[in-house]
A and B are shown apart, each in its own frame.
Chain A
Amino acid sequence: KAGVTQTPRYLIKTRGQQVTLSCSPISGHRSVSWYQQTPGQGLQFLFEYFSETQRNKGNFPGRFSGRQFSNSRSEMNVSTLELGDSALYLCASSLWDTNTEAFFGQGTRLTVV
């Protein structure tokens, strides 16, 4: 069974640009959530989608957005990139009824220069 797939694995962008990251969940999983990991802040929740609906959103500026497609694949977008957006972006998939496991992808390492 394939795991959570995130593309691309690495990205280098310039300040002010925008970026789109992709996540394909485990087959049959309908929930996709996104997290940002930095050395200073640790793992922080960005947002969660289930059946194309955002059910929860973390405390990030509006430059961070996401969406989910009917096949459960998800994308997140960051506009007007700042140096502080450099981080590992992780996607997790789950069935997400109550009390189900959440599995992470390999992540996308974004560097903003």
Chain B
Amino acid sequence: QKEVEQNSGPLSVPEGAIASLNCTYSDRGSQSFFWYRQYSGKSPELIMFIYSNGDKEDGRFTAQLNKASQYVSLLIRDSQPSDSATYLCAPSNDYKLSFGAGTTVTVRA
């Protein structure tokens, strides 16, 4: 079992729709959970992080965390073409981030 699993992509959504990204993790000691966006050829850019169970909203992005289910998700509302990128889920524990393989999102106009 991989440490971090993300829904396989690519995920194609129409402009203005909601993109839903899922992530499960195996390390129950994980304390914080990060979502990064990475454009092709660029470094990861932090979108959000969450450490308490429940929802956290920041603009068009909402992260949801359920530690009992070892599950974290990211919703992107009103998707824009500029949201087309690979999204990386990264739980943290013991001073390290463990990354999933990423989900590639394509927003079609």
- A binding-site residues for B, Cβ under 8 Å: 31, 33, 35, 42-45, 48, 50, 55-56, 58, 88, 90, 92, 96, 98-107
Contact = CB atoms under 8 A, between A and B. Distances in A.
A42 B31 contact: no
Contact of A50 (B31, B34, B51, B95): B95
Nearest to A44: B99
Contact of B44 (A33, A43, A45): A43
A31 B95 contact: yes
A112 to B, nearest CB: 19
**Could you say which interface size class chain B belongs to?**
20 to 34
Nearest to A4: B43
A44 to B, nearest CB: 8
B43 A104 contact: yes
Contact of A56 (B44, B95, B102): B95
A50 B96 CA distance: 12
A42 B96 contact: no
A42 B99 contact: yes
A56 B29 CA distance: 15
Contact of A99 (B32, B45, B94): B32
Contact of A103 (B46, B99, B102): B46
Given A98-B32, A99-B31, A45 B97 contact: yes
Interface string B38-51: 00001111100101
A54 B32 CA distance: 20
A96 B51 contact: no
Contacts of B94: 55-56
Which of A45, A96, A100 has the most chain B CB atoms inside 10 A of its CB?
A45
Given A42-B101, A102-B34, A90 B44 contact: yes
Interface in B52-109: 88, 90, 92, 94-102
